Amino acid sequence: MVSNRLNKVTKQIRKKKGKTPNLHEGSRDTQRLQSAAALDDKLNRLTSLREKQNRHYLMRIKSFQSYTTEHDSPLSISEIQAMIEDYLGRDDEEVLKLKAERRSGRPASTRQTLLEQNQATEQGEYASGFWVPDLEDAENLKKLKDWSGKWSGLATLKFARISKEGFKKESSFPPKGMS
């Protein structure tokens, strides 16, 4: 990410002191540069952390976007549940492959453990209500197809929680708890 604050302060100092400013260690300008660099570093860390936290939601919505490419009309709850179950089974082959590669008596690999934990979490979410775009709404389906893949573009979409029993509950964006 581009550090805007540091560039701005550097530009101001160059304007005041010349192209190659000779700053001593404790000067005000050096302190301004250090605090601008620290602020930019903090903002970059927070941004990357937020992107990492939102990545699995983006991947989920992208996969539902790809599932709905051939659908022009709104989907029924049973069709949405079939898509959810297909999505939940996306890592089954890799888990089976990792289990087959492991020698008997050996502990599971870290990757296998993470995949199994992720599957268990998502299965639990599906039992209580899986967070997905509302695919029963024709206008929302069109918006999902036109979605650019960016987090900020999701604010215009409607979301719902679909449970394993077939219940649908309106949800909010971004997902918070069981909303």
Residue 88 maps to a domain = yes
Residue pLDDT, tens place only, 33-72 = 889 989 999 999 999 998 898 898 899 999 999 988 888 8
Cβ contacts of 171 within 8 Å, gap of 6 or more:
129, 131, 159, 160, 161, 179
Share of the chain above pLDDT 90, in %: 31
Residue 135 maps to a domain = yes
User: Does residue 161 have a pLDDT over 80?
Assistant: yes
Same domain for 175 and 98: yes
Full residue range of the structural domain in which residue 48 is found: 1-17+27-59
Residue pLDDT, tens place only, 59-105 = 999 999 998 888 888 888 888 999 999 999 999 999 999 999 888 88
pLDDT at position 114:
93
**Total of domains in the chain:** 2
Same domain for 12 and 93: no
Same domain for 11 and 86: no
Same domain for 129 and 108: yes
Same domain for 102 and 75: yes
Residue 22 maps to a domain = no
